[in-house]
Each structure stands twice: as C-alpha cells, then as structure tokens.
A and B are shown apart, each in its own frame.
Chain A
Amino acid sequence: MNPAASGDAPAIVRLENVTKRFAAPGGGEGFAALSEVDLAVPAGSITGIIGRSGAGKSTLVRLVNGLERPTVGRVTVDGVEVSALGEGPLRQLRRRIGMIFQHFNLLQSRTAFDNVALPLEIAGVGRAEIRRRVAPLLDLVGLADKAGNYPSELSGGQKQRVGIARALASEPRVLLSDEATSALDPDTTRQVLALLKTVNRELGLTVILITHEMPVVREIATRVAVMDGGRVVEEGDTYSVFSRPAHATTRAFLEGVTGVRLPAFLRERMTADAGAAREAVLEIVFTGPTATDPILFDLGRTLDLPVNILAGAVEEIDERPFGTLVVSLALGRLEEARRFIEARGLATEVLGYVR
C-alpha cells in the first residue's frame, strides 16, 4: 500500500518541523505540546487527526489558523507562511479558514441567520450581499426553516449545522473541525459527518478533522495522522493505517473499531504455546484488490486443506472493502497455508493455538 496514494494532490496545509512550547508559569523550559511535527494535508482531502486528550491535536489545529504560533518550524496554508504573518494579514487569512467547535460556540444573542452572517459582517460584506449569501448556506445545511431561531431553540445537531454554515460563509478553502461531533449522539454524529463529506465533495473544501474517536475517522477521513505525546506517530491514507496499523497507539485506537472480536469460549481455549496444540488460529486481513477474492475456497481446492471459520467481518473504509477473517487449521500445515495466502498479497497473523 502506497501511503502517498491519495497524497498526490499538492499539500494545502503543511507543517514542517513544528515544535510548540508553552511557557511554564515560573519560566523555564515549559511544556512541549508539539514536538518536531511534519505533516502535509493534501488539497481536497478529509484528514483526520486522532489522539487522546493532551496529545497536541488541538494545538496543531490552532497553529493552522494562527491562533497559536509555533516555537520552532514553519506552518504554511495555501502557500502562505502563517507563522510569519503579522496580525492584519493573519486576520485576512483566517477569513479563508473555517472552523467548527465541539461546543458549537454560537452567539446566544443572535439568530441562526445572524450567526451565519457574523463572519461576513466581520469581513465587511454589505447587508444586501449578506442576505443573498446566508440563505443558500442555511439551505445547504438543511436549516432553511430555522433562520429566525435562536441557538437555545435548536438541538445539538442543528447548532452544529449552524456552526458549519457559519464556517462556510466566508467561502474558505480549509475547514478545521475541533472535536465537532464529540458532544453529539451517534445518530447526529453520522448526520453531521455526512454533511462534512458533502461539503468536502461539492465545494472541494479540505477538511482537517480533530477527534479522539476512530469511528469518526473511519466514517469520512481519507487520510489520518495519529498523535501521541505531541508527535505524529503514524500517518497515511486511512485504508492503509486501518488495515496495517504499525504503532501501538494506532492499534489501541483501532481496538474494537475494526476487525473481529473472538467469542469468549474460544479466547479461553486458546494458548500462546504451540507445543501440545493440534490447530492454529490464524487471522487473515483482506485488503486491496483481493479483498473480495474467494481465498478460502482456493485454499481448500488447491491445497486440499480444510479450514474452520471462527469469526469474520467485511467493512468499508474510505469506500474500499476491508475484511478480517479468523480461521483455525491443522498446525502441521500452517506455514504452507500462510505462504499460499501471503502470496496473494494478504496479511496473516497467528493469534494462538488450540488443542
């Protein structure tokens, strides 16, 4: 899998060797929220940045629109070096970067319409032009009938939709999403993510999505960067990262999100010791073009090797199939079977042995 597969588009946001240190209250070294981060976000992508709280992901996104400045390194957006701009030009740049928030951050004193109008007022757009531009935006997010409602009269999902419409008002090229679905229930989360996907496609908008939830990444991200302790520990297109996670943090995030869970009775019978075992439990990961090939059928036919299917799942990541199958087969023929399967470009892993 080529990690640059969807990275061919030129990077619209680029971080080069970025370190961000926050001053310690008493002076001294301070605390490094980000350390030597290199990251390229391809134009038109939906890039997920996942990490636990404190991993530095919020700091990273605030460097992109210049709410924070890097201690070391360069941040460029659309060819402009954000980290070198003065306040005035920085404000101009921010008008081309939309942002949505976990708690929506809508003005309570303004109606949905006036909230969406705010970035335009700030940019000095005239009243008639504002009226002309806000209505289609509310329409796009499905809230044309809520234009006159105040945020306190809207549900969480509706508030976030207003937030999205507001972020789109200034026709940005990049949309930053800071845990935008973390305060929403699963159904509403899916709707908001679907909306983000729509604006990504229809407006060609690059979306940078900060989250601590792998399902969010799986749902819409085309690329993903995994952060831990202020560093990007793994990065690539979502499909590769999900199918072949390399870093422990990535694996921890993926636990229970992809693949299969073995039934309890099987886990209890399994040992790590091949000594007295008769059968091996093998996990086969189906990816890429062969993901839907009838591999087990071929295995039986070509090698005359019977396999027991224990668990399996096929899912879709970034609109490509991705399957996991757990089988058991005779220990004596394990290596033969693995060679056969891996010769077809699939990954295998021995999970354990059973008597």
Chain B
Amino acid sequence: MSANMLWLIWAATLDTLFMVAVSAAIGLLLGAPLGIFLATSGRGELFAAPAVNRVLGLVVNALRSTPFIILVVAIIPFTRLVTGTSIGTTAAIVPLTVATVPFVARLVESAIREVDPGLVEAARAMGASPAQIVWKVLVPEARPSITLGVTLTIVSLIGYSAMVGAVGGGGLGDLGIRYGYQRFMPEMMLAVVLVLIALVQLVQSAGDRLARRFDKRARRS
C-alpha cells in the first residue's frame, strides 16, 4: 500500500471524525432537550403539554422513518441555506445532524422514562420545581442509559457518514466508494472497512466503560 494511499485514508478518517463529532455534538445539544421534553410533557406530567407533545412526536417519527439517503437528497435546499453549498464534508454535516436530533431525542426520552416515578414524587414532595426535578433527579438518574444511547448514536453516525459520500460528502465512505469500488481497489476497500470497524469498536468500548462508571445501581464488588 503506497504512502499516498495511507495519506488518503488518514485524511478521510479525519473527515469522518469531523463530520461525526460535529453532528453528534449538535445533535445531542438539540436532541437531548427535545427528548427530555418528550418524556415530561405528556398528560399529567411535569411540563404537561399533550398537544405539543403529540405534534413533536409526529415530527420525530416522520424524520426517523425517512431513509437517510432520501433525507440527504430531500433537504438539499435547507443544506444550501445553512452552509452555502450542498456538496462536501461541511455540507454533509447538515443531513447528519437532522437525522441525529430525532434519534437522540427518542433515546433520551426512553432513558428518562425508565427513571422510577417514585423519585419524581419524592422530589415533588421536597418542594422541587419541575426544572429542579429534571436537572437533579431525571437526568442524573438516567445518565447511564443516556450514555449508552449517545454511544449508539455515534456508532450509527459513523455508518451514516459513510453514506454521505454518495452526495459528495468526504470521509471514509466516500473513499471506499470512489477508490475501492469505482477504481477496483479491493485493498483500499478493505482498509476503509478495517478503519471503520476500529472506530466503532473504540467508541463502543469507551461508551460502555463510561456508562458503567455512571451506573451506581449494581456496584461491582
């Protein structure tokens, strides 16, 4: 494998990491509050707003049921509006983020809903405000599950980021398609796959370790 190829793989890996990191960060920033709201705005809940809850739930479901590759193409006007272009690594961040937000929202929602309702009642009995209940009870108690959810999100994003290569986004997927597939370079394809496997493995084990550290439910002796 030539030095040139190694250099290409290295650059593509950086592109992938860049896309994944930025869309994961923005996705989490927007998706987590959305998830918390979805988990607490049902009828009779902390921030009861059943109508808003239902509408947001529908939007989230709609975004999640759209195949990613279709989403990428469908929101090209929006992508152009945000980044000024619809081609390239930076442009690819837009559809990646749009796909991540509802994904994170549902994961956070289910993590929050797993928290024992007795804890919410205890906090209410202490005179906690809804915001205090979220920040002092729900989020800390759901942190191990949220951490695993974020790990899952990043792993999925690594997979999605390989798809944006199809519309001119850079990264490992793009490299694999252009060199491995179109130029018949099986060794390039193999290298790309290996790097992706390594990335996923790394993220998953780091996430697992972090979640275990947060989880005080069953201590290992």
Interface, chain A (partner B; CB < 8 A): 65, 67, 90-95, 97, 99, 101, 103, 105, 107-110, 118-119, 121-123, 150-153, 170, 176
Question: Chain B residue with minimal CB distance to A95?
Answer: B127
| Nearest-Cβ distance from residue B131 to partner chain A, whole angstroms | 11
Residues of A within 8 A of B186 (CB): none
* CB within 8 Å for A103 and B118 given contacts A91-B127, A152-B216: yes
Residues of B within 8 A of A176 (CB): 125
Query: Top 6 closest A-B pairs, CB basis?
Result: A94-B127, A105-B122, A95-B127, A91-B127, A105-B118, A99-B125
Asked if B126 and A95 make an inter-chain contact with CB atoms under 8 angstroms apart, the answer reads: yes
- 5 A-B residue contacts at CB 8 Å? A105-B121, A107-B140, A118-B123, A150-B216, A150-B219
Fill in one digit per residue for B114-133: 1 if any A CB lies within 8 Å of its CB, else 0. Answer: 00101101111111110010
| Nearest-Cβ distance from residue A293 to partner chain B, whole angstroms | 48
- In the complex, whether B80 has a CB less than 8 A from a CB of chain A is no
| Nearest-Cβ distance from residue A280 to partner chain B, whole angstroms | 54
- In the complex, whether B137 has a CB less than 8 A from a CB of chain A is yes
Most buried by A among B125, B128, B143, B216: B125
Residues of B within 8 A of A119 (CB): 126-127
Asked if A108 and B216 make an inter-chain contact with CB atoms under 8 angstroms apart, the answer reads: yes
| Nearest-Cβ distance from residue A5 to partner chain B, whole angstroms | 31
Residues of B within 8 A of A91 (CB): 127-129
- In the complex, whether B136 has a CB less than 8 A from a CB of chain A is yes
Residues of A within 8 A of B126 (CB): 94-95, 99, 118-119, 122, 170
Residues of A within 8 A of B55 (CB): none
- In the complex, whether B217 has a CB less than 8 A from a CB of chain A is yes
Fill in one digit per residue for B61-86: 1 if any A CB lies within 8 Å of its CB, else 0. Answer: 00000000000000000000000000
A-B contact count (CB 8 A): 69
- In the complex, whether B218 has a CB less than 8 A from a CB of chain A is yes
Q: Which of A67, A94, A95, A109 contacts B216 (CB 8 A)?
A: A109
A105 to B119, CA, bound (A): 5
| Nearest-Cβ distance from residue A250 to partner chain B, whole angstroms | 29
Q: How many chain B residues touch the partner (CB < 8 A)?
A: 23
* CB within 8 Å for A122 and B128 given contacts A105-B116, A105-B119, A107-B137: yes
Residues of chain B from 91 to 137 with CB closer than 8 A to chain A in the complex: 116, 118-119, 121-129, 132, 136-137
- In the complex, whether B181 has a CB less than 8 A from a CB of chain A is no
A103 to B116, CA, bound (A): 10
A107 to B119, CA, bound (A): 7
Residues of B within 8 A of A170 (CB): 126-127
Question: Chain A residue with minimal CB distance to B130?
Answer: A87
| Nearest-Cβ distance from residue B117 to partner chain A, whole angstroms | 9
Most buried by A among B122, B129, B136, B218: B122
Residues of A within 8 A of B217 (CB): 108, 152
| Nearest-Cβ distance from residue B213 to partner chain A, whole angstroms | 11
A97 to B122, CA, bound (A): 12
Most buried by B among A93, A107, A121, A123: A107
* CB within 8 Å for A121 and B118 given contacts A91-B127, A95-B127, A109-B216: no
| Nearest-Cβ distance from residue A106 to partner chain B, whole angstroms | 8
Asked if B127 and A107 make an inter-chain contact with CB atoms under 8 angstroms apart, the answer reads: no
| Nearest-Cβ distance from residue B43 to partner chain A, whole angstroms | 11
Residues of A within 8 A of B128 (CB): 91, 122
| Nearest-Cβ distance from residue A26 to partner chain B, whole angstroms | 15
| Nearest-Cβ distance from residue B118 to partner chain A, whole angstroms | 4
Residues of B within 8 A of A118 (CB): 123, 126, 136
- In the complex, whether B184 has a CB less than 8 A from a CB of chain A is no
Asked if A101 and B122 make an inter-chain contact with CB atoms under 8 angstroms apart, the answer reads: yes
Asked if A101 and B118 make an inter-chain contact with CB atoms under 8 angstroms apart, the answer reads: yes
Asked if A109 and B141 make an inter-chain contact with CB atoms under 8 angstroms apart, the answer reads: yes
Q: Which of A108, A121, A123 contacts B141 (CB 8 A)?
A: A108
A110 to B137, CA, bound (A): 10
Q: Which of B123, B125, B214, B219 contacts A109 (CB 8 A)?
A: B214
Q: Which of A93, A99, A121, A150 contacts B136 (CB 8 A)?
A: A121
New contact pairs (7) apart from A67-B124, A107-B141, CB-CB < 8 Å: A94-B127, A99-B125, A109-B141, A109-B143, A109-B216, A150-B216, A176-B125
A13 to B136, CA, bound (A): 30
Most buried by B among A108, A109, A122, A151: A109
Asked if A93 and B127 make an inter-chain contact with CB atoms under 8 angstroms apart, the answer reads: yes
| Nearest-Cβ distance from residue B211 to partner chain A, whole angstroms | 12
| Nearest-Cβ distance from residue A350 to partner chain B, whole angstroms | 49
Question: Chain B residue with minimal CB distance to A109?
Answer: B140
| Nearest-Cβ distance from residue B120 to partner chain A, whole angstroms | 9
